[in-house]
Amino acid sequence: MADQRLSFKEMCARFDVTPRTLRYYEYIELLHPERDGRARWYGPREIARMTLILRGRKFGFQLEDIRQWLLIYENEGTTAQMKAWIKMADRQLEELDQQRKQLNEAIDELKSLRDGTEATLKA
């Protein structure tokens, strides 16, 4: 599996992303596929990076934050990257908690308005 390489099309299919998304990730230097003429090949490193990128997006991280985090590994190693990850995760958890509070407030207000409207109709 260490020699596994995916074509551009296989990479899109494996990660369920559009060609536009994959090209954009290359453009902003999140991914660096090998090139053979016009063909792009994604090895284990790029496959692992794509897994981390999509996981980061799932948690709501900005692409620039993900890019910086990946650069830490390349420039400073695993320990520095793990320390940065903890800080990033703490910030994101706080942000998600704020979003949850705002969402709960919106849900409560919508329920109240809905219930009030229903009571008016019944009256």
The tens place of each residue's pLDDT in the chain, 123 residues long, gives 456 899 999 999 999 999 999 999 999 999 999 999 999 999 999 999 999 999 999 999 999 999 999 999 888 989 999 999 999 999 999 999 999 999 999 999 999 999 999 999 998
Q: Which pLDDT belongs to residue 1? A: 47
- Whether 54 and 66 map to the same domain: the answer is no
> Cα(122)–Cα(110) distance, rounded to whole angstroms?
18
- Whether 23 and 72 map to the same domain: the answer is no
Q: Rounded to an integer, what is the distance from CA 64 to the centroid of its chain?
A: 10
Q: Helices (DSSP H) in the chain: which residue ranges?
A: 8-15, 19-27, 44-58, 63-76, 78-122
Domain of residue 1 covers: 1-58
Q: Which of 39, 58, 77 is the last residue of a domain?
A: 58
* Tokens describing residue 81: 């990257």
Number of residues written out for the chain: 123
For residue 31, what is the domain's CATH number? 1.10.1660.10
For residue 16, the number of C-alpha atoms closer than 13 Å in the C-beta half-sphere is 2
Domain count, the chain: 2
- Whether 43 and 84 map to the same domain: the answer is no
- Whether 23 and 76 map to the same domain: the answer is no
Q: What is the pTM of this model?
A: 0.80
